[in-house]
Amino acid sequence: MGNCCGTEEEQKPLLVSGRVGVRSGTLSQPPAGPVLAQPAPIIARSPGPTSARLHNPIKQKDFEKSIQLIATVQLLSLPLTSLDKTFQDLGRLYNEVVGNFRSLEEEIRKFKEYFLEETSGIPVLEECVAHLVNRVGTAKITVERRSKTFIEITYDKEDISKNCKGEADQSLRPLEHFSRACRHIREVLEHAPQVERNVKIILADEDRQGKDIMKSELSADAMQRATHDFHENVSKLRVVAAGTDTIRRDVEKKFKEFANASKGFFKEES
């Protein structure tokens, strides 16, 4: 079995739970049972602006540059065990978010590579899904809402291999990349807010934590090093805060693109 995808809005379910055909389903009301429909024709279209921010190319370029600059963080060790653990735990969590973010970018890139020919080298996600649906043929796919940040698409590999058009790998591989991308979306959207909250708490408590170091029983030299390393870590956390905000906003945008593209797996019976 293969599976997919991540979501953000809990109060407005985007897809309905239940087993559906790859050309079946609804995005508004739950179907009474499996609904089968004819394959939807693929309509070629040229990509256009999808949001207001695209009207400001300078701001968009700056945002893309900030994404490129995002990197993992290495926080310095501190001699106060409790304070050191606070920083190191937060650093590890942030690095996990960065890792999932970079993996998400890679999965999207690999997914789109399977549709370069059909899209004339401009693989818009929504159009790629339409081509994937066409390749899958009459095979069945199940779409379920699993949690606030996870919509799962499951399928049987043998069913895909038997009923798809062309080579099975041309359907199975992009489905796998789509599924993994959605899992990375879920991981980022679940943990990025936690990083942001914890960074705010630490930065708001910076003065008290600095005083704790000064009140410790460290030697003068050790206290000086600890104070220096503490302020170095605080400076790094400000970079972490900016990076996490950039990641979250970018993945929220990507989630909306995936959620919208996922509608391509459904076609209401006419």
Average pLDDT over every residue of 236-250: 96
DSSP code per residue over 167-184? -THHHHHHHHHHHHHHHH
Distance CA 145, CA 7 (A): 9
Output the pLDDT for position 14.
41
Q: Which residue has the higher pLDDT, 8 or 154?
A: 154
Q: Which residue has the higher pLDDT, 238 or 63?
A: 238
* CA dihedral sign, ordered 132, 137, 138, 139: negative
pLDDT in tens, 193-225: 999 999 999 999 999 999 999 999 999 999 999
Distance CA 20, CA 50 (A): 29
Residue 158, pLDDT > 80, answer: yes
> What pLDDT band is residue 51 in, cutting at 50, 70 and 90?
very low
Beta-strand ranges (E) seen in the chain are 18-21, 140-147, 150-155
Average pLDDT over every residue of 107-136: 95
DSSP helix/strand/coil, 118: coil
Residue 15, pLDDT > 50, answer: no
